[in-house]
């Protein structure tokens, strides 16, 4: 592994990083295992959450852009209508209608104040990821 010096006089000069001292340190594999298990549980919870959201959409007869937004809610925790319109290559009105539908179904909530540049989030996803 290599690092580059950050001072202006040494920019681009390579130096070796010696990892041997770190490798001699005892590793708490119990803590590593616990963190890995927590990550797997969190992922399983997110998968279940996404399945429930998609089921809610299906029961409401929603598809199209609303489905595409829900498909991405795990990876994009916050969105604006303008962002959704650009991401899914639809009109602002189509994105607005989809977001309003998701708000009505309880899958999104307006997080920011005001009428312009509003930010929407899914509270359940935030709870899982933030803890």
What would the pLDDT profile of 13-71 be if each residue is shown by its tens digit?
556 777 677 667 666 777 778 888 888 899 999 999 999 999 999 999 999 999 999 99
Backbone angles phi, psi at 118, to 5 degrees: -65, 140
C-alpha to C-alpha distance for 70 and 59, rounded to whole angstroms = 14
* pLDDT recorded at residue 86: 97
Strands 2-4 and 14-16, by their bridges, are antiparallel
């Amino acid at each position: 592994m290599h690092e580059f010096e950050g001072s202006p006089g040494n920019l681009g000069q390579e130096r070796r990083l010696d990892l041997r001292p770190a490798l001699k340190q005892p590793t708490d594999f119990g803590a590593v295992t616990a963190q890995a298990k927590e990550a797997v549980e969190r992922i399983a919870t997110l998968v279940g959450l996404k399945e429930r959201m998609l089921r809610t959409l299906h029961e409401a007869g929603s598809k199209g852009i609303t489905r595409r937004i829900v498909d991405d809610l795990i990876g994009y925790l916050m969105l604006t209508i303008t962002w959704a319109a650009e991401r899914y290559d639809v009109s602002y009105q189509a994105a607005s209608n989809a977001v309003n539908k998701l708000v009505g179904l309880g899958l999104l909530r307006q997080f920011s104040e005001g009428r312009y540049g509003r930010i929407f989030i899914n509270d359940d996803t935030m709870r899982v990821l933030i803890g």
